[in-house]
Amino acid sequence: MKLQALWRSPSAWPAGAALVLTLAVWLSYTAVYRAALQEAGQRGQAQMQLQARELLGSVEKFEHLPYLVGADQALAQVLSAPQDPLRLNAANRYLQFAQHRTGVAAIYLMDTTGHTLAASNWSTPGSFVGRNYRFRPYFQQAMEGGAGRFYGVGVTTGEPGFFIAAPLLQNNRIEGVVAVKVDLTPLEERWREAGLPLALADEAGVMFLSAQRDWRYRSLYPLAEPARAKLRETRQYGGTLTEALSPQGLDAAQAPTALQVVDGGHYLVQARPLEHFGWQLLLFADPGPARRQGALAAGLVGLSLAVVLLALAFAWQYRRRMSERRAMARERARAIEALERRIAERTAELTAANDAAVQTGKLALLGQMAAGISHELSQPLAALHTLADNAAEFLKRQDPDNASSNLQLIGGLCTRMGNIVGELKAFARKEPARLEPVRLAEVVASTLMLMEPLRHASQTRIETETLDAGLAVLGDGIRLEQVLVNLLRNGIDAMEGQAERRIDIRVSATGETVTLSVRDHGPGLSDAARAHLFEPFFTTKPSGKGLGLGLSLSQAIVREMGGQISAHNAGPGARFDVTMRRTATPPDATAPSEHPQLNRTPFYACTAD
Cα–chain-centroid distance for residue 106?
A: 74
- Smaller CB separation from ligand ADP, 25 or 551: 551
Question: Distances in Å between the alpha carbon of 323 and those of 122, 314, 317, 468?
Answer: 101, 14, 10, 42
Can residue 118 be called a binding residue for ligand ADP (CB under 6 A)?
Answer: no
- Smaller CB separation from ligand ADP, 464 or 593: 464
- Sole window of 305-313, 376-384, 441-449, 538-546 interacting with ligand ADP (rule: CB under 6 A): 538-546
- Smaller CB separation from ligand ADP, 126 or 572: 572
Cα–Cα nearest to 484, from 528, 442, 538: 442
Can residue 460 be called a binding residue for ligand ADP (CB under 6 A)?
Answer: no
Name residues whose C-beta falls within 8 Å of residue 275's C-beta, 6 or more positions apart in sequence: none
Cα–Cα nearest to 606, from 445, 441, 438, 463: 445
- Sole window of 241-249, 349-357, 432-440, 539-547 interacting with ligand ADP (rule: CB under 6 A): 539-547
- Sole window of 58-66, 369-377, 471-479, 486-494 interacting with ligand ADP (rule: CB under 6 A): 486-494
CB of 461 to ligand ADP, least distance (A): 16
Residues of this chain, 562-581, that bind ligand ADP according to CB under 6 A:
574
- Sole window of 138-146, 431-439, 477-485, 521-529 interacting with ligand ADP (rule: CB under 6 A): 521-529
Can residue 361 be called a binding residue for ligand ADP (CB under 6 A)?
Answer: no
Distance (Å, rounded) from C-alpha 235 to C-alpha 133? 11
Distance (Å, rounded) from C-alpha 585 to C-alpha 364? 29
Question: Distances in Å between the alpha carbon of 147 and those of 94, 103, 144?
Answer: 22, 20, 9
Distance (Å, rounded) from C-alpha 81 to C-alpha 83? 6
Closest-approach residue to ligand ADP (CB): 546
Cα–chain-centroid distance for residue 306?
A: 9
Q: How many residues bind ligand ADP (CB under 6 A)?
A: 19
Question: Distances in Å between the alpha carbon of 377 and those of 105, 389, 409, 421, 537?
Answer: 150, 18, 15, 9, 11
Can residue 483 be called a binding residue for ligand ADP (CB under 6 A)?
Answer: no
Reduce the DSSP state of residue 544 to 3 states and report it: coil
- Smaller CB separation from ligand ADP, 571 or 592: 571
- Sole window of 59-67, 351-359, 543-551, 578-586 interacting with ligand ADP (rule: CB under 6 A): 543-551
Can residue 256 be called a binding residue for ligand ADP (CB under 6 A)?
Answer: no
CB of 365 to ligand ADP, least distance (A): 12
- Smaller CB separation from ligand ADP, 218 or 519: 519
Name residues whose C-beta falls within 8 Å of residue 87's C-beta, 6 or more positions apart in sequence: 74, 77, 78, 81
- Number of continuous H segments (helices) and E segments (strands) in the chain: 14, 17
User: Quick one: which of 72, 423, 520, 560 contacts ligand ADP (CB under 6 A)?
Assistant: 520
Can residue 451 be called a binding residue for ligand ADP (CB under 6 A)?
Answer: no
Vertex 90: Cα angle to 85 and 96 (nearest 5): 120
CB of 525 to ligand ADP, least distance (A): 5
User: Quick one: which of 211, 391, 529, 578 contacts ligand ADP (CB under 6 A)?
Assistant: 529
- Smaller CB separation from ligand ADP, 434 or 479: 479
- Sole window of 4-12, 52-60, 297-305, 520-528 interacting with ligand ADP (rule: CB under 6 A): 520-528
Residues of this chain, 545-564, that bind ligand ADP according to CB under 6 A:
546-548, 550-552
Q: Provide the mask over 299-338, with x wherever binding to ligand ADP is found by CB under 6 A and - wherever it is not.
A: ----------------------------------------
CB of 323 to ligand ADP, least distance (A): 50
Can residue 494 be called a binding residue for ligand ADP (CB under 6 A)?
Answer: yes
Computed from CA positions of residues 585, 589, 593, 595, in that sequence, does the dihedral angle turn out positive or negative? positive
Name residues whose C-beta falls within 8 Å of residue 160's C-beta, 6 or more positions apart in sequence: 151, 152, 153, 154, 183, 184, 185, 208, 209, 237
Question: Distances in Å between the alpha carbon of 116 and those of 107, 128, 157, 209, 237?
Answer: 11, 6, 14, 27, 20
Residues within the interface to ligand ADP (CB under 6 A)? 490-491, 494, 520, 522, 525, 529, 533, 538-541, 546-548, 550-552, 574
